[in-house]
Amino acid sequence: MVGSAAVIRRQQFLIRCLGGSSAGCKNLGYTTIKMQSLMSGGGPSLEVDAISILRSITPSLDPSKHKGQAGKIAVVGGCREYTGAPYFSAISALKIGADLSHVFCTKDAATVIKSYSPELIVHPILEESYSVRDEDKKSVSAKVIQEVDKWMERFDCLVIGPGLGRDPFLLDCVSGIMKHARESNVPMVLDGDGLFLVTNCLDLVSGYPLAVLTPNVNEYKRLVQKVLQCEVNDQDGTQQLLSLAKGIGGVTILRKGGSDFISNGETVSAVSTFGSPRRCGGQGDILSGSVAVFISWARQNAVKKESSMSPTVLGCIAGSVLLRKAASHAFQSKGRSTLTTDIIEHLGRSLEEFCPVSR
Ligand SMILES: NC(=O)C1=CN([C@@H]2O[C@H](COP(=O)(O)OP(=O)(O)OC[C@H]3O[C@@H](n4cnc5c(N)ncnc54)[C@H](OP(=O)(O)O)[C@@H]3O)[C@@H](O)[C@H]2O)[C@@H](O)CC1
Ligand SMILES: Nc1ncnc2c1ncn2[C@@H]1O[C@H](COP(=O)(O)OP(=O)(O)OP(=O)(O)O)[C@@H](O)[C@H]1O
Ligand SMILES: [Mg+2]
Q: CA angle, corner 261, sides to 232 and 292, nearest 5?
A: 120
Q: For the whole model, what pTM was predicted?
A: 0.90
pLDDT score for 26: 59
pLDDT score for 63: 85
Residue type, 140: V
Closest residue by Cα to atom 1, ligand 2, is: 258
Q: Which residue ranges form the domains of the chain, and what is each CATH number?
A: 2-354 (3.40.1190.20)
pLDDT score for 28: 45
State which ligand 1 atom lies nearest to the alpha carbon of 257: 29
CA of 276 relative to ligand 2 center, distance in Å: 10
pLDDT score for 23: 39
Q: Is the CB of 164 under 6 A from ligand 1?
A: yes
Cα 76 from chain centroid (whole Å): 13
pLDDT score for 54: 97
Query: Cα separation of 263 and 251, whole Å?
Result: 8
Cβ neighbours, 10 Å, residue 334: 16
Q: Is the CB of 285 under 6 A from ligand 2?
A: yes
Residues 82 and 103 sit within 8 Å (Cβ to Cβ)? no
Cβ neighbours, 10 Å, residue 62: 8
State which ligand 2 atom lies nearest to the alpha carbon of 324: 31
pLDDT score for 302: 65
Residues of the chain with pLDDT under 70: 1-44, 302-306
